[in-house]
Amino acid sequence: MQFGVFANIQKEKVHPVLPTFVSWMKRQGYDFLLESDARGLCGTDVPSERCLSRTEIVRQADIILSFGGDGTLLSTAMEVGASCKPILGVNVGKLGFLTEIETHDLQSAVKRIQEGNYTVETRMTLVAEWKGHGGKHVALNDFALVRGESARVIRIRTQVDGQFLNVYTADGLIVATPTGSTAYSLAANGPILAPTVPAVVINPICPHTLTARPLVINSDRTIQMTLISSDPATLTIDGRQEVEISTRTTIVIRRADHDIHLIRFGDRGFFDLLRSKLHWGEDVRPHE
């Protein structure tokens, strides 16, 4: 089994972790590849022939290890794409909603993978396209059509399977997967969905009417968002990539043809994760 190692070297906390892990992998005789940009942190522990581009690592490796936070895992997921290679997220960030393990569990996690002692959880993705763009964008979390530089609200005509839903007057509109329901959509008072529920959330951001509420629909539906404001807006993809959208542009969003596969060990369930990451049941009042 060959491991591919991706790392967000912009995070300072990755700097002491990655060389130690790579040295351990080498001593144990594990087969691994390291993304080229991270070689500088590991020095001579990794020969040049084992340092490849992310694209080549995805092609060759059996398992992808992602060192960073949730943002790093989102980036890794887009690199892995339709290859369906399983990803193990290693949390070297703050929240770590998507990542599976902390750095102190690294060695035992690799051993468990070698032994086949893990499961793979499937996460759906969304794809968006629009006329004049000539391409497709894929998101694991969400697409959000938000107002641009202007402080004015935008108006978005929305349809589901060609049927008129609403014209939202708001700061924007989020279309989120179950994975993304705990990201931007949650901050915009959206519902939390269990990660494997086949559904999509349509959630207005700061709507200028109290009757505009988040909506959950089946994942096999097609959503159309048409910007009808005169001001341009911005489409964000997983909060990482931004594309300017001009007025009268219609964005078509549907479930993508491929899913993302995350490695899970079963040591903690989704509800355990919610309690710990969202601090449910804790006294958040300041202690005197």
Q: Looking at this protein, which amino acid is placed at residue 115?
A: E
**Catalytic annotation present for 259:** no
With vertex at residue 244, the alpha carbon angle to CA 238 and CA 247, rounded to the nearest 5 degrees, is 120
User: Tokens for 44?
Assistant: 């001579």
CA-to-CA distance for 14 and 12, rounded, in angstroms?
Answer: 5
Structural contact between residues 240 and 157, judged by C-beta atoms closer than 8 angstroms: no
Instruction: Tell me which of 45, 70, 142, 238 is the catalytic residue.
Output: 70
Task: Give, for 34, the enclosing helix (H) or strand (E).
Answer: strand 31-35
Helix (H) or strand (E) holding 187: helix 184-187
The answer to whether 175 touches 200, Cβ cutoff 8 Å, is: yes
Among candidate residues 232, 229, 256, 228, the one with its CA nearest the CA of residue 244: 232
Distance between CA atoms of residues 285 and 288, nearest Å:
9
Residue with tokens 């690592």: 57
DSSP 111-159: HHHHTT--EEEEE--EEEEETTT-S-EEESSEEEEEE-SSSS-EEEEEE
| Cα atoms found within 13 Å of the Cα of residue 70, Cβ hemisphere only | 16
Active site residues: 70
